[in-house]
Amino acid sequence: MAYDAEDTRRRIFTAAAAEFTERGLAGARVDRIATAARANKQAIYLYYGSKEKLFAAVLRAKLEEVRISVDPDAVAESVGQMFDWYQDHPELIRLQLWEALEACGAPGEGERERRDAFRGKVRQLASGGMGPALPEDARLRAAQDLLFSIMSLIAWNFAVPGMCRMVLDEQSDRAALARRRAAVVEAARTLAAAAGRLRSGLPE
């Protein structure tokens, strides 16, 4: 059977995603990834260069899977869809938490590409008519704040599900998340209304 390089890359990626999600970058071991992928360590270094670059590739790919964009004219609906996506893919939050814990705020591999992707989302929000009377820089900063606020509203629920359950005094994580989804969507609707006041020039 001929060697299938693309299949090997896929198996390495799948094994690495599981390893990094469970153990983070520092705790992950290339030999465990190689064993799970049924590949040799040399293939991992050949295709990805280093463990750090492999982690960055996994995180970047997981972030790119979040195809849902924030529609400037339907923010609450977009946020509900994003909430559901994160609930179905808890590995993304775990990877981001590992990165935050281990990078200690220092720029990591692939940051430039991810920054560019977020800039695209910000431009999409700003182009929805936010603050037409504002200078472009101020409009972009307002869109950045709105995007990060929305992301924070969603992500914290999955970063600390136990705290979510306890604070809300619910019997299960599922019940707490269902309640939080409604609250997050309503909060997003309020934020969108505030952005609407920026659009129209109306007082706060």
Domain 5-62 has CATH 3.30.70.270: no
Whether the model clears a pTM of 0.85, i.e. scores above it, the answer is no
CA atoms within 13 A on the CB side of 123: 6
- Per-residue pLDDT of 45-77, as tens digits, reads 999 999 999 999 999 888 887 766 667 667 788
pLDDT band, very low/low/confident/very high, at 146 (cuts 50, 70, 90): confident
Provide the total of helices (H) and of strands (E) in the chain, helices listed first: 10, 0
What's the pLDDT at 38?
94
User: From the centroid of its chain, how far is CA 145?
Assistant: 16
- Per-residue pLDDT of 90-99, as tens digits, reads 888 999 999 9
> Domain 67-200 belongs to what topology?
Tetracycline Repressor; domain 2 (1.10.357)
Region(s) of the chain under CATH 1.10.357.10? 67-200
User: Which of 94, 55, 98, 76 lies closest to 190, judged by CA?
Assistant: 76
Identify the DSSP state of 73: T
Residue 184 scores a pLDDT above 90 = yes
Poorest-pLDDT segment among 30-39, 113-122, 152-161: 113-122
- Per-residue pLDDT of 118-139, as tens digits, reads 888 888 878 776 666 678 888 8
The answer to whether 13 touches 48, Cβ cutoff 8 Å, is: no
